[in-house]
Amino acid sequence: MTQSPQDMWSQWLLQRRFGGDPERMKRMVDFLYPVREKILSHVQLSAGGTLLDVGCGDGLIAFGALEKLPACHVIFSDISDDLLQYAERLAEEMNVHNRCQFVHAAADDLSLFADESLDAVTTRSVLIYVAAKQRAFDEFYRVLRSPDAVSGKAGGVLSIFEPINRFAYPEPPQQFDGYDVTPVVEIANKVKAIYESLQPLATDPMTNFDERDLITYAESAGFTHIHLELQSTIEPPDDASWEAFIHIAGNPKIPTLEEAMQQALTPTEMEAFSHHLRPLVEAKQGQRRMALAYLWAMK
């Protein structure tokens, strides 16, 4: 029997974001575990509480919650059935399946869940793919429990992490992914045009918001006690190799650099662009701008 191809979300999360580079995979894991711990540090559930991890992906946050909160129930939700199946297989292997539920649901449509039915909602790098961000926050608020004045029990908690891609874009015209491409700028612009046609900087969910918007969305939804922590860095890139650099897709909706070059450039232009860019990548002679936002709030 021929195995069906994975959807783009699963392909990217499990393969294309690493570019076939084991060292990059290790660095990614080393980066993501502290992210998970910080998200979950704002979640305190009593025995029997339920946490919904929206856009669970490969289960990074959800499995962390199962470990950190041993008496809780965790709902894995995602729009990718392939990733839900992947996470469910892991849950069975880890003997935690009885504490899990796996649900196909989008961040901006949690209609499968009743009002005030959950104790915590978490997300990691999910809203960058959601056009209706306010609707997503409204849904987060709706499904979380209200505080109980009689018992003194606090309301449900939202804890999320989002990259703020607006911090890095648009780049100066002479730069490509943080590298100076002045001598080949016309060629670089052809490659940039591929990416910008797929994800226009002004309108795409990936780049059309910043940390102030996250606060506005949370406040408009009705959350109180809203907190946001922003971490911004500007430093040399950590690309391990040219091969990894050209085979990595920055997100599920865009091609790798090699694929974009093949689509946009002639063989002669590809050779010229690579001849200029490869030494810069291998010498890490570029600049990487990154901003990360953690938001947590109580209902």
Q: Is 173 helix (H, G, I), strand (E, B) or coil?
A: coil
Which pLDDT does position 8 carry in this prediction? Answer: 87
295 pLDDT higher than 60? yes
Give the torsion sign (CA, 46, 50, 55, 59): positive
Claim to verify: residue 262 and residue 213 sit in the same structural domain: no
Claim to verify: residue 139 and residue 244 sit in the same structural domain: no
The total domain count for the chain is 2
Report pLDDT digits (tens) over 225-257.
999 999 999 999 876 689 989 999 999 999 999
3 pLDDT higher than 50? no
Decide if 174 contacts 182 (C-beta within 8 A): yes
Supply the DSSP string of 238-257, one letter for each residue: ----HHHHHH--SSTTS--H
Claim to verify: residue 225 and residue 189 sit in the same structural domain: no
Claim to verify: residue 192 and residue 92 sit in the same structural domain: no
C-alpha to C-alpha distance for 124 and 61, rounded to whole angstroms: 8
Claim to verify: residue 112 and residue 248 sit in the same structural domain: no
Decide if 281 contacts 244 (C-beta within 8 A): no
Claim to verify: residue 43 and residue 69 sit in the same structural domain: yes
Claim to verify: residue 189 and residue 244 sit in the same structural domain: yes
C-alpha to C-alpha distance for 296 and 19, rounded to whole angstroms: 32
Dihedral (C-alpha) 33, 130, 21, 173: value to the nearest 10 degrees?
A: -120
Angle between helices 185-198 and 267-282 (to 10 degrees): 90
Q: How far is CA 278 from the centre of its chain?
A: 27
Claim to verify: residue 17 and residue 132 sit in the same structural domain: yes
211 pLDDT higher than 50? yes
Claim to verify: residue 271 and residue 214 sit in the same structural domain: no
Claim to verify: residue 225 and residue 279 sit in the same structural domain: no
Q: Which domain holds residue 257?
A: 170-206+239-283
Report pLDDT digits (tens) over 44-78.
988 889 999 999 999 999 999 999 998 899 999 99
- What amino acid occupies position 238? D
Task: Burial-class residue 29 by CB neighbours within 10 Å (0-12, 13-18, 19+).
Answer: exposed
Q: What is the mean pLDDT of residues 179-196?
A: 97
The model's pTM is 0.93
Claim to verify: residue 154 and residue 253 sit in the same structural domain: no
